[in-house]
Amino acid sequence: MATATESPSAHGGVFRRLSRTLFRHPLLKLATLLAAPITWMVVVYLGALAFLLVTAFWSVDSFTGSIVRSWGFQNFQELWSVQVYRTIALRTLGIAIGVAVADIMLAFPLAYYAARIATPRVRNALLLAVVVPLWASYLVRVFAWKLILTPNGFLNWLVELTGVGSLQIGASNWAVWITFVYLWLPFTLLPIYSSLERIPPSFLEASSDLGGKSWVTFRRVVWPLALPGVVAGSIFAFSLTLGDYITPTLVGNTQFIGNVIYNNVGIANNLPLAAAYAFVPIVIISVYLIIARALGAFEAL
């Protein structure tokens, strides 16, 4: 009976027959939809990632420069025994912690103002103002700090206006730190904002009704409830710093984990060592994520 009415229409005939087939066979439809994205991600990305992790256990023939596929922990041993690599890892970790702390201190007041004091219109304007710099090109924002921090640049002009002398941090760890703080500030701010916004006003009223002074209310009600958001925000500042190589190259004068990886892939042509060193940020971030999860940060994301 169906066959009697089945007359392919003039336009879209092929599409129709196709869509009818797909409608009758949902599994086929699912396969059609998933084939391309899954193949892409598995072949291009996950495959590459898995290969990289395997490479960490291989070595490079120092004579020919080609990769030798013999298994071992020699790269990890080298990274552990050479002082420089340890120093660089600790320096990167230290800066990452410093960046996360500074970002929280800068972000919290603005997030608090937006979430609890500002009118809805001001709140939306503030949130937009925070997000816009994220899209203003990462490299250009690093470059902006290079301009600001040059010896006769904007920062020194500002410092000299105050008459306390001059400030020479053009190419230093301070420059790297301040640039990272700038780059990741919006990432830190948004989770803190959303955790503050979710605190019911009645909690604060209850606290003050029970005689809590504003500082006590902040310390015992607001801060504990905001903590998951603060930790969630710090994840970005922390982990993005650990893997970055552009900022230290442009505004710094020391090596960071990212620089060592970058140089070993490029100039030094030692991919296995670079892959092994890439385990350092992965391990640190994993530990950090486990701690963050215990503090409830994932619900605040």
Partner 1 sequence: MEPRGARIAVRVMTWITLLFLYIPLVIIIVYAFNDSIGQKWPLEGVTTRWFGVAWSNGEVRQSLVNSLVVAAIATVLALLLGTAASFAVHRFRFFGREAVSFALVLPIALPGILTGIALNSAINVSGVPFSLLTIMVGHATFCVVVVYNNVLARLRRTPTSLVEASMDLGADGWQTFRYVTFPALRTALVAGALLAFALSFDEIIVTNFVSGVELTLPKWIFNNLRQPRNRPVVNVVAVVVMLLSLIPVYLAQRLAGREGVGVGGSGTRSA
**Ranges within 238-297 binding partner 1 (CB under 8 A):** 239-240, 242-246, 250, 258, 261-262, 265, 271, 274-275, 278, 281-282, 285
User: Which of 78/218 has CB closer to partner 1?
Assistant: 218
The closest of 118, 292, 106 to 197, measured between CA atoms, is 118
Q: Select the span of 75-83, 84-92, 104-112, 290-298 touching partner 1 (CB under 8 A).
A: 104-112
Q: For residue 45, give the amino acid letter.
A: Y
The whole-angstrom separation of Cα 197 and Cα 284 is 30
The crossing angle, in degrees rounded to 10, of helices 271-294 and 83-112 is 40
For residue 59, the 8-state DSSP code is E
For residue 297, the 8-state DSSP code is G
For residue 220, the 8-state DSSP code is I
The interface mask with partner 1, positions 145-164, x = CB under 8 A, is xxxx-x-xxx-xx-------
Shortest approach of partner 1 to residue 163 CB, angstroms?
Answer: 17
Interacting positions 162-191 with partner 1 (CB under 8 A): 182-183, 185-187, 190
Shortest approach of partner 1 to residue 282 CB, angstroms?
Answer: 7
Interacting positions 30-89 with partner 1 (CB under 8 A): 30, 32-34, 36-38, 40-42, 44-49, 51-52, 55
User: Which of 128/164 has CB closer to partner 1?
Assistant: 128
Which two tokens mark 76?
């990890």
Please tell me the count of residues contacting partner 1 according to CB under 8 A: 94
For residue 66, the 8-state DSSP code is P
Buried b (16+ CB within 10 A) or exposed e, 137-163: eeeeebebbbebbeeeeebbeeeeeee
Question: In this chain, which of 139, 206, 216, 283 binds partner 1, going by CB under 8 A?
Answer: 139
Interacting positions 218-237 with partner 1 (CB under 8 A): none
User: Which of 177/182 has CB closer to partner 1?
Assistant: 182
The whole-angstrom separation of Cα 192 and Cα 233 is 6
The whole-angstrom separation of Cα 117 and Cα 87 is 44
Cα 134–140–145 angle (5° rounding)? 95
Q: Select the span of 14-22, 70-78, 83-91, 223-231 touching partner 1 (CB under 8 A).
A: 14-22
Shortest approach of partner 1 to residue 83 CB, angstroms?
Answer: 23
Report yes or no: 103 and 181 within 8 Å, Cβ to Cβ: yes
Q: For residue 210, give the amino acid letter.
A: L
Shortest approach of partner 1 to residue 37 CB, angstroms?
Answer: 4
Question: In this chain, which of 131, 206, 283, 291 binds partner 1, going by CB under 8 A?
Answer: 131
Shortest approach of partner 1 to residue 114 CB, angstroms?
Answer: 8
